[in-house]
Structure 1
Amino acid sequence: MAHIGIVDLQGGVVEHLAHLERLGVQAIRVRGASDLDNLAGLIIPGGESSCLTLLLRRYGLGEAIRERFAAGLKIWGTCAGAILVARRVDGEPAELALMDIDIRRNAFGSQLDSFARQAGIPVVSEHPLPLIFIRAPKIIRLGEGVRSLLNLDDYCAAAEDARTLVTTFHPELTPDPAFHRYFCHKCGLQTKTTATPESSTWQWNSWTRLAPIP
């Protein structure tokens, strides 16, 4: 049975798992090359891109992901995951280089410059979506065959091509499963129609975990 895998080396893994569970989609943690078997899609979560790069190399996952992608595996990268998926990052070749886009890292500044906002993305959801940007990158170039899903101000924040999806923000840290549903459908998987946003109980500052800043 085909399912969705989540690279479980570092970053927001449990949050992605929770959204997929709400949608009724089977999901597994991917820690080694053998975990890539029988996947319809793979999520590379947000975290720290330099750390994820080192871990992908240490566990031999990078090459395995490239091989499965070449064989048809669909991939979604969120924030740090988008950085790994891009063709070039800050003018240099990227780790996986699966999607013809250029990305600028930490485009808004430090951790203290992280922010939340709302935006409409009609192809993904009928209602405006909450967006969480944490040390977020910007997509500064779209290659042939890549379309923007969301433009904000002077940059692209979400894009896709036939087999790849990238978001520079963190849908997994919001109560809305719309992007996870969109990716599952892109992978040819069915989802529960009853999974709706939990916006009535969600607070905009909840993603900070209310951690004090010294």
Structure 2
Amino acid sequence: MKVGILALQGAFIEHEKIIQELGVEVVEIRQRKDLEGIDGLILPGGESTVQGKLLRQLGLLKPIQQLINEGLPVLATCAGLILLAKTIDQEETAHLGTLPIVIKRNAYGRQLASFDSDIDMRSIGHYPAIFIRAPYIESVSDDVDILSVVNNHIVAVQYHHQIGLSFHPELTHDTRIHQYFLSLIQPSSQSS
């Protein structure tokens, strides 16, 4: 099994360390050829506008979008969730647009408004979530599963093979979310 981690900007190293600790091969995605042979993809936190711009400049946007639409499992955190969203509140264009949700960027305010919260997450249980300039999900289509809600805001969803989180599981010592993501990959990687 091999997991690609978008490594253009943001908190990709932290995800990489966790995936390697779980015994899985990692490749940093910086150009199109890096996408070859990956069984799953992580879109990390960071600056979604910068990441989206770089995806377009490097010719990665359409190939990643196609892989996701073909069933590639994805874990997207914070900015990565914004990249996946079909609609970004008060913005005309989306990036990958593969996740049928409406997202509100920087919904919790500036960096100083960052916070930790012990959330209840379906399929995981209690989880120590870290929110940093986090977005939240304003609405979802009927076929999107809501995994967690904090203060009446949706902060975690799953849509088939796509997991989207407003928070940063890579900044905790709890690997359960990454393990859950890897469990989505295992059936498809058997055929690779």
Instruction: Give the TM-score band, short-chain normalised.
Output: over 0.9
Give the 3-state SS of the residue equivalent to 1:120 in structure 2.
strand
Gaps of 5+ in 1: 190-214
Name the CA distance, whole Å, in 2 between partners of 1:20 and 1:119.
22
- TM-score normalised by length of structure 2: 0.93
Listed as ranges, the matches of 1:179-194 within 5 Å are 179-188=177-186
Contact 1:108 1:135 in 2 (8 A): yes
2:24 corresponds to: 25
The root-mean-square deviation of aligned C-alpha atoms, in Å, is 1.2
Name the CA distance, whole Å, in 1 between partners of 2:93 and 2:170.
27
The structure 2 residue matched to 1:173, chosen from 171, 174, 182, is 171
Contact 1:86 1:99 in 2 (8 A): yes
How much does 1:69 deviate? Answer: 1.6
2:97 corresponds to: 97
Name the CA distance, whole Å, in 1 between partners of 2:123 and 2:140.
18
How much does 1:76 deviate? Answer: 1.5
Contact 1:100 1:144 in 2 (8 A): no
Contact 2:74 2:163 in 1 (8 A): yes
Give CA-to-partner distance per residue, 1:8-54, whole Å, 9 cap, x none.
00001110011111111111111111111111110010000111111
Does 1:108 find its partner at 2:94? no
1:47 corresponds to: 46
Runs ≥4 in structure 1, deviation > 4 angstroms?
Answer: none
Name the CA distance, whole Å, in 2 between partners of 1:7 and 1:74.
14
Point out the more displaced range, 65-74 or 13-22. 65-74
The residue type equivalent to 1:98 in the other structure is T
Give the 3-state SS of the residue equivalent to 1:172 in structure 2.
helix
Give CA-to-partner distance per residue, 1:131-168, whole Å, 9 cap, x none.
11010001011113100000111110000011211000
Gaps of 5+ in 2: 188-192
How much does 1:122 deviate? Answer: 4.2
Contact 1:106 1:136 in 2 (8 A): yes
Listed as ranges, the matches of 1:115-154 within 5 Å are 115-125=115-125, 128-154=126-152
Q: Give the percent of matched residue pairs that are identical in Structure 1 and Structure 2.
A: 38
The residue type equivalent to 1:165 in the other structure is I
Name the CA distance, whole Å, in 2 between partners of 1:79 and 1:86.
11
Name the CA distance, whole Å, in 2 between partners of 1:93 and 1:86.
10
Q: Which has the larger radius of gyration?
A: 1
Give CA-to-partner distance per residue, 1:67-98, whole Å, 9 cap, x none.
21222212121000000100000143311000
- TM-score normalised by length of structure 1: 0.83
Point out the more displaced range, 115-124 or 162-171. 115-124
Contact 2:118 2:127 in 1 (8 A): yes
With over 3 angstroms needed to count, the CA separation of the structure-2 counterparts of 1:147 and 1:122, relative to structure 1, is closer
Give the 3-state SS of the residue equivalent to 1:93 in structure 2.
coil
How much does 1:187 deviate? Answer: 1.3
Name the CA distance, whole Å, in 1 between partners of 2:107 and 2:68.
28
